[in-house]
């Protein structure tokens, strides 16, 4: 399919991936982010990799997710 139209074409996306993931190889993450960039505004797509991280999470990733949420979502009262 071609690019997404309407409001969703400007959605911000954060994609995170460990470079040692044995279940989902980093190559698949890289291919996915390139596909996303072809569908929505590529300037709004962020791809982060984490050295030594397997199919799990790490503190650095969670901090990146927090910063992304703080930047793109309104605060909750």
Domain ranges of the chain: 13-72
Stated pTM of the model: 0.86
What is the rounded distance in angstroms from the CA atom of residue 69 to the CA atom of residue 71?
5
**pLDDT per residue as tens digits for the range 4-42:** 777 788 899 999 999 999 999 999 999 999 999 998 999
pLDDT band at 1 (very low <50, low <70, confident <90, very high): low
Q: Whose structure tokens read 């291919």?
A: 31
Distances in Å between the Cα of 74 and the Cα atoms of 16, 19, 33, 41, 42 are: 22, 31, 25, 21, 22
């Amino acid at each position: 399919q071609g690019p997404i139209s309407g409001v969703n074409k400007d959605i911000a996306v954060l994609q995170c991936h460990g470079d040692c993931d044995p279940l989902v190889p980093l190559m698949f993450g890289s291919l996915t982010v390139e596909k996303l960039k072809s569908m929505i505004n590529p300037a709004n797509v962020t791809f982060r990799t984490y050295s030594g991280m397997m199919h799990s999470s790490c503190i650095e990733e969670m901090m990146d997710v927090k910063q992304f949420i703080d930047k793109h979502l309104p605060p909750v009262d």
